[in-house]
Structure 1
Amino acid sequence: MQLVIGGAFSGKRNVVKNRHPGKLAWISAYDGRAVTEWKSCWDENATLVLEGWEKWLEDAIIQENDDEAVRKTLRNHFHYLMKEEQMRGEEVVLVMLEMGRGIVPMDSHYRRVRDLSGWVAQDAASLAREVHYVWHGVSERMK
């Protein structure tokens, strides 16, 4: 599993496309797709790309008040993706938005989304085989 992380409009998508020029099964929350759609959309011989984690996280916290429970659910999801990746012999790429370098939101809901996004990104980074940080269209491998 790989993690590609960076700020808004930093070039993350282009970095993923350049690093994985073959077939991509791209599931994006920005297109209104659910994270679970990968199960039916991950074609053979394709790299699975999941983007928009802060949107999926925002949906999750509407249903769950316990931040640690949300983190645990997503960690379990990452572990499941890693097992599936290994069984298929294909790559999984998580594309995450870096939200920790901006202004801290005054609204408690958005502050919670920001904080949880940071924790979930840490969880993803600790599990990922590779971590790439992207800014201004340039990526640097961090792990």
Structure 2
Amino acid sequence: MQLVIGGAFSGKRKIVRKMGKSSWLSAYNRDPLSKWDSIWEKDSLLVLEGWETWVAHEIEKNEKLANIRLSIREFLQQMKREEKRRDSEIILIVLEVGRGIVPIEKRDRLLRDLLGWIAQDAVEIADEVHYVWNGLHQKLK
């Protein structure tokens, strides 16, 4: 499992597209996260992007933040097992939202906090972590 994290329009997709044949599941295309199995083609990487959108939907359901975090952590662990079972790889594209800016709206602050915690969990679970900025990337793990 690889985590590719960076700011908006930093070049994350461009970096990932160079990694090989891939099946994309994107919240930006309104793809539900639960659809991963039907999207993942044989002999291709599975790319999951749009985490902030998927997490925002969970917050809107009035789920407790701790429950959402645990659910996503368990999902990532399940994906890690599936990756090994299929002898393939999963790439998580995550929008970095921290950077010291504190949103005015409470909902947005909750989303920022939860995304930060989820990113930490993803870093722990991933085999490789890449940070992308201005089209450049650096391997952190």
Q: Any conservation in 2 of the 1:64–1:70 contact (CA below 8 Å)?
A: no
Q: How does 1:91-106 map to 2 (within 5 A)?
A: 91-101=89-99, 103-106=101-104
Would you identify which runs of 4 or more consecutive aligned residues in structure 1 move more than 3 Å? none
Structure 1 equivalent of residue 114 of structure 2: 116
Corresponding residue number in structure 1 for 2:47: 49
Paired with 1:33 and 1:44, the residues of 2 have a C-alpha distance of 19
Q: CA deviation at 1:107?
A: 0.5
The letter of the residue matching 2:93 is V
Q: 1:7 corresponds to which residue?
A: 7
Partner deviation per Cα, 1:34-93 (whole Å, 9 max, x = no partner) = 111111110100100000000000011112431111100000000110010000000000
TM-score normalised by L of structure 2: 0.97
Identify unmatched segments of 5+ residues in structure 2: none
Deviation at 1:114, TM superposition (A): 0.6
Gaps of 5+ in 1: none
Is the partner of 2:25 in helix, strand or coil? strand
TM-score (norm 1): 0.96
Match of 1:133 in 2: 131
- Per-residue deviation, 1:102: 5.2
Residues 2-81 of structure 1 correspond to what in structure 2 (within 5 A)?
A: 2-18=2-18, 20-21=19-20, 23-81=21-79
